[in-house]
Structure 1
Amino acid sequence: MYKPRINNKFHKHQIMMEDPCLAEFIPETRLFTNNNLIDLLNKYKKVIVKPSRGSLGKGIVVITELGTEEYELLQLNKQKHINGLENVYKYLKKLENFNIPNIVQYYIPLAKVYDRPMDLRYIAQRTEQDWTITGKYARVAKVGYALTNFEHGSSILTVEDALKSSTIKNFNIKELNEKLNMVTLSITTCLSRYFPNHKIWGCDLCVDEKGSIWIIEVNSSPQIKGFLELESLLPMYQSIVGYKTLNKKKGRRSR
């Protein structure tokens, strides 16, 4: 078996797909090839293409089938229309980020807040009690954007406020919160088997309008600046920084 790399999104996807506790929460994902792009677009009509390594939303393209051989490509807030799947593939291959392996993935129909897509960032860290969720918030995309990256102007809300304001239909907020926590901790248990010395994971989750939970991706070096946006999130920020400092000290002592 290949040696999984901690910063490779496709490797982490494959690891989680092998876990029966997580497989149901993972959107269909393949390595980017012309055939895989055609297959997934024919199957779902909307997909997302992104680098297998990278962050901050760089190099991500959302592709929507509008009609027979007509496609819309959205990069941040810039739209482009292309006729023919072969031309879509050729266009993507010319983009700057396509010098590294990419993945193509079913585009999850994210629940919306204020008519804008919304997802969730959960931080889990090693603590005295093994793994603990030390922070969480919701990100609501900027108007005109398909992506919720904080660096591209998304709004930060508490998870509870976002869920209550969302377009999710007929859900119990307590049960949904418990399930989101369960999925996050299942991710840490799974990935720890392959990366036993790692101390922090940023789990990007989302809920679709039917209330189903999905795992978007898992980051090994998650940004935490979003916790500074709301006063109510500051205790989480302080807890995350505190455990990062503590785990660094423990790492030095174990050498």
Structure 2
Amino acid sequence: MGTIAKNKYAKYKFMKKSASLAPYLPETRVMSRESLWSLLNRHRHVMVKPVWGSRGRGVIQVSDLGHDKYAIHYENMKKIKRGRKKTYRYIKRKIGYAAYMVQKRITRPTINKRPFDMRVIVQRRKHSSKWVVTGRVIKVAGKNYIVSNNTRSHGKLLRFKTGIRRSSISHLSVTKLKSRIDKVSLRSAKRLKALFPGHRIYGLDVATNPKGHVSIIEANLYPAMSHFLKLKDFKMYHRILSYK
């Protein structure tokens, strides 16, 4: 289990092979000059992220602005580069020799003009094969940041219903959205069980687009519990602990 548990690309590939999960996984490839330009040509916006990273560290957003200009958004800094050569050189300088992957960016909805995604906790009890969604929290990116990781971008955490009602997708049915997110999250846990048979908890990073289509950004085997403490939702926090 060791290394593969933290390898985002290996987990992505394994999940992508499942026909019922594939539609919910944004196109992702190992980062190279070719894959970067190929995905940028197709999607105009991509995320370049470390295969081994966590907590939103080292994530770079690259956007094709047209007319041979590219925007590079890293932490809370934005740079515009002209030409592919200079753009690639700048990104390479940032990532060095670490293993990275490039992923189609999900256009996330916003709360107060800041993008948000969600952390969904899926668990099963010790002698049970039944997976249950035990926690959900909305993570809003901090000012000028693209990542929603709370400690990294000093963003905001909100309860699911509260967050959706305050967001740019408040016109969508909260109940339908919740059941769609739960369905995809449970499906992910069931799929990952084949790779990590004894494992009983997953923290899934889930995003929707402005139309409410669900995407799994990544699956974490050791999700932080601090979200639920910060949210002061002790009921949810204790439910998660009771499953552990």
Counterpart for residue 196 of structure 1: 197
Give me the CA root mean square deviation.
Answer: 1.6
Distance across 2 between alignment mates of 1:99 and 1:239:
41
Counterpart for residue 139 of structure 1: 139
Distance across 1 between alignment mates of 2:231 and 2:10:
34
- 1:104 paired residue among 78, 91, 102: 102
Distance across 2 between alignment mates of 1:162 and 1:26:
23
> Quick check: 1:192–1:198 contact (8 Å CA) kept in 2?
yes
Q: Which amino acid aligns with 1:227?
A: F
Counterpart for residue 208 of structure 1: 209
Counterpart for residue 66 of structure 1: 65
- Whether 1:238 and 2:234 are equivalent positions in the alignment is no
Distance across 2 between alignment mates of 1:168 and 1:83:
34
Moved over 3 A (4+): none
Once the two structures are superposed, residues 190-226 of structure 1 have per-residue CA deviations (whole angstroms, 9 ceiling, x without a partner) of 0001110112111000111111111111111111211
Larger deviation, residues 79-88 vs 52-61: 79-88
> Quick check: 1:116–1:143 contact (8 Å CA) kept in 2?
yes
> Quick check: 1:125–1:199 contact (8 Å CA) kept in 2?
yes
Counterpart for residue 87 of structure 2: 88
Q: 1:135 to 1:150 in 2, by over 3 A?
A: same
Residue identity over aligned pairs, in percent, reads 32
Counterpart for residue 228 of structure 2: 227
Deviation at 1:170, TM superposition (A): 4.5
Counterpart for residue 33 of structure 1: 32
Residue 108 of structure 1 aligns to a residue in which SS?
Answer: coil
Q: Which amino acid aligns with 1:59?
A: G
Distance across 1 between alignment mates of 2:198 and 2:97:
30
Residue 99 of structure 1 aligns to a residue in which SS?
Answer: coil
Distance across 1 between alignment mates of 2:112 and 2:170:
15
Deviation at 1:144, TM superposition (A): 1.2
Extract unaligned runs of 5+ from structure 1.
245-255
Q: Which amino acid aligns with 2:158?
A: L
Q: 1:164 to 1:120 in 2, by over 3 A?
A: same
Counterpart for residue 250 of structure 1: none
